[in-house]
Structure 1
Amino acid sequence: MASVAASENQWFKGRVKAVTSGDCLVITALTHNRAGPPPEKTITLSSLMAPKLVSPPQARRGGGIDEPFAWESREFLRKLCIGKEVTFKVDYKVEAIAGREFGSVYLANENLAKLVVQNGWAKVREPGQQNKDKVSPCISELLQLEELAKQEGLGRWSKVPGAAEASVRNLPPSAVGDSGNFDAMGLLAASKGKPMEAIVEQVRDGSTIRVYLLPEYQFVQVFVAGLQVCSPVFV
């Protein structure tokens, strides 16, 4: 993909590789002419603030707690676009937060930011809180959609008593990274030979995936039995 300076306000096509939160996606190039994985770009949807998931390092240590509705917000966006082709552009870049790039992303003809906001899964950062040139091109419509979502009690604006508290995950220790507190033998004894529901968080290589086991969200690395693959250039 082109450099940031060259890519602002230019439209590109890519495929959604990962969704890290309810307002942030990792997009890879559809084609490339170099060895190794395709180039990728992390895009935060312009003018949105989704609830924050516990940070990956803290999640791996266990004991981390999300902000209310953070998981549901992330899952809404992930289910909507993971693995799909999108069109996107960088609207602006904020140097103060490590040069983070904010952009507009479309799935077919649907603006992802609008879909997230109208379903109540992110707040809209009002123009007064930003520099004049660091704002979504559709800020007025986003604010209108946010107000409607609030009125209808959608997503994070739920009016159901206890909904916010019930949405918070309290993560157990992880089997990936610092796994000292993870009871691997206990999990094996309780689950061996049984089908388990999980969400794939990362495909590490051709025979290894990292998943969240449901419903308790243990984060584990799974090796596909009987396979041996070449090591990837990057992990």
Structure 2
Amino acid sequence: MAAQKDLKKDKKDIKLQNIEFVGIVREVHSGDSLTIQSTKTNNIARFFLTHVRAPKVGTNDTQDKPYAFESKEFLRKKLIGQQVEVKFEYEKTVKVAKSWEDDSEATEKQMNFCTVFYQGQNINLQLIQEGYAEFNFARTEEEKSQYHDELKTASEEAAKKKKGLHSTKNIPLHRFNDISRLKNKPKLLEHFNSLKSKARLTGVVELVISGGIYKVRVNEEPYSILVLLSGVRCLPPDSNIPEYTTWSSKALDFAKNNLLQRDVEIQLERMDNKGKFHATVLVNKQNYASQLLSQGLCFTFGKAKHTTEYEAIEKEVQAAKKGLFGSNKINIESLRGQNFDVDQKNVKAISGSIQAKLSELINTDEFYIQENSRIAVLDKMEKELDDFDLEAYPKLQQPVQPGTPCVALFSGDNNYYRGKIVKKRNDNKYEVFFIDYGFYDSVHIDDMCKLPEKWAPIQPFAIKLGLAYCVGLHDKHPLAVESDETFKELAWGKKIHLSYKYEDNGVKYVIVQDAANTPLNQTINFQLLKKGLVRLDEGVALPEELQAWQEEQDFAKEKKIGLWAYDEQENDD
């Protein structure tokens, strides 16, 4: 199969250009090839350096040729992101066919050749003088640059001095292990902890995958790692939501222009349960996530080391309606509510209270409520959805990405409601979360459509909550159903008062009362605790005024009430 990758070239058609322009170096591909964007026209193209032949950079299947790394690094360190003067000398059209194809199947490829100047210095000449590239003789008069003889002389001098690739000394080898491809999580965690223990971790961004995901070549170890910006998220491209694709592309372009091939410092924070490395990235000693956020190209997401700083920036950007925050077709709060990896508690005290009704109970650790103050707006939307004509709106295009908003048919009552895609179930069915109620359902692709624009700006009516200071029973516990049913009996169909106590990884935790003045030993939290149907959360400090709850749990434990009648393994399984 290796032979199939070989290319054969036909005769070249040469077109003289002799154009001079100023541009910005956007990417260095090798020691003789780079991408440059014109500062005047913004046109962007790949160029090859005239009369320069650098060692070939390897692929996933092949190694670099000797001095390929040094040659490319020379250009990267000197030119990436810098303004240069370009003498575009000629373009050459080459017919290229794969080795198994006939000449009639060959495709044409245009190659642009130029001489680059940076701060008055001829870069083509410097590469050859330092022994990072060989001199490439002109084959025709049209291909001959005005610097031809000077470059030829420089090459001869570099060979005499045995510089770089002309040297007879040991050839430097550079091999980097791409650990982002590892499937062995324990081994990946071992690498993560080793890198995190470094006093300082630096590297080079080799690849920008999206606005917030990058592949970084580490300097301190021979590794390449996949890094996700911690505490923020960029919108994903989505064929069903043009606005997502627009802002995803803007974030990607910003990263390519400001981060690609830059020297960075990496401050690793955590490895999530999917093996991804979450980190703060510093470029020129500046927090890159803060820069991205200040442009309105991402939003705060989850908890991270710099969350407080990010939230302050986001507040300013929201007020200015900058970037994606200026679009009324993007519901940031709904995006922020999507599931994300949670490895540790990030408890933050909050306050306030609302009147509400219970709309869905998944379990005592996850239930949904609707605020009484917004019920009238929800009722209006429900009446409109009663007469909803699915065929009048555009269908979703497969594959549908998680988080895509939609209107979908709920099998429980055969009515249409607002929802968002959670994940794909099979070829034609998706798990949908109905954002105004809190329930889930598996919905056929033919029974959903794109969310009408008039409903996109309306915040979801269902608010996800958990019982403050309490931990519920796992789904397979013998008392799980009884615990959930008891909660329902105490709260379903009633107007309840909810007092916010703290937030943990995006979920707010509350004390549930019949009324604002309900004594703390009569709240729903306490009643479930008393019956041994929940237990206190050891990861959250219990306030002094709730110490009676600890005493009640101790009593239930002593008398083996509820869950305490079961062994520890059953309760923790």
1:45 to 44, 49, 57: 49
Contact 1:7-1:89 at 8 Å conserved across structures: no
- Hey, what's the Cα distance between the residues in 2 that align with 1:109 and 1:29? 18
2:81 to 80, 83, 107: 83
Residue 35 of structure 2 corresponds to 26
1:104 to 115, 128, 138: 115
Residue 125 of structure 1 corresponds to 136
Letter in 1 for 2:197: K
- Hey, what's the Cα distance between the residues in 1 that align with 2:178 and 2:62? 9
Contact 2:15-2:92 at 8 Å conserved across structures: no
Letter in 2 for 1:99: Q
- Hey, what's the Cα distance between the residues in 2 that align with 1:12 and 1:158? 36
2:228 to 210, 213, 223: 223
* Cα gap change, 1:185 to 1:54, in 2 (>3 Å): farther
Cα deviation for residue 30 of structure 1 reads 2.4
Cα deviation for residue 143 of structure 1 reads 0.7
**TM-score of the two chains, using structure 2 as the length reference:** 0.34
Contact 1:88-1:105 at 8 Å conserved across structures: yes
* Cα gap change, 1:107 to 1:194, in 2 (>3 Å): same
Cα deviation for residue 217 of structure 1 reads 4.5
Contact 2:178-2:225 at 8 Å conserved across structures: no
Contact 2:26-2:81 at 8 Å conserved across structures: yes
Q: Look up the SS of the partner of 1:80 in the other structure.
A: helix
Residue 208 of structure 1 corresponds to 213
Give the RMSD, CA atoms, in angstroms.
Answer: 2.6
Contact 1:173-1:182 at 8 Å conserved across structures: no
Moved over 4 A (4+): 181-185
Cα deviation for residue 184 of structure 1 reads 6.0
Residue 150 of structure 1 corresponds to 159
Residue 243 of structure 2 corresponds to none
Residues 39-68 of structure 1 show CA distances to partners (whole Å, capped at 9, x for unaligned) of: 31111100111001113xx2xxxx531101
Q: Look up the SS of the partner of 1:169 in the other structure.
A: coil
Cα deviation for residue 131 of structure 1 reads 2.1
Residue 194 of structure 1 corresponds to 197
- Hey, what's the Cα distance between the residues in 2 that align with 1:106 and 1:183? 47
Cα deviation for residue 172 of structure 1 reads 3.3
Contact 1:105-1:112 at 8 Å conserved across structures: yes
- Structure number with higher strand proportion: 2
Identity of aligned residues (%): 25
Q: Look up the SS of the partner of 1:150 in the other structure.
A: helix
- Hey, what's the Cα distance between the residues in 1 that align with 2:186 and 2:174? 23
- Hey, what's the Cα distance between the residues in 2 that align with 1:76 and 1:153? 18
Cα deviation for residue 182 of structure 1 reads 6.1
1:116 maps onto 2:127 in alignment: yes
Contact 2:205-2:217 at 8 Å conserved across structures: yes
Letter in 1 for 2:88: V
Cα deviation for residue 27 of structure 1 reads 0.8
Contact 2:179-2:188 at 8 Å conserved across structures: no
Contact 1:19-1:82 at 8 Å conserved across structures: yes
- Hey, what's the Cα distance between the residues in 1 that align with 2:16 and 2:197? 49
Residue 35 of structure 1 corresponds to none
**TM-score of the two chains, using structure 1 as the length reference:** 0.78
- Hey, what's the Cα distance between the residues in 2 that align with 1:105 and 1:204? 28
* Cα gap change, 1:217 to 1:137, in 2 (>3 Å): farther
- For structure 1, the 5+ residue unaligned runs are 33-37
Letter in 1 for 2:23: G
Residues 56-100 of structure 1 show CA distances to partners (whole Å, capped at 9, x for unaligned) of: xx2xxxx53110110011101111111100011321222126211
- Hey, what's the Cα distance between the residues in 2 that align with 1:20 and 1:182? 29
Residues 104-162 of structure 1 show CA distances to partners (whole Å, capped at 9, x for unaligned) of: 111121111001111110001123xx1221133211000111111111121111232x2
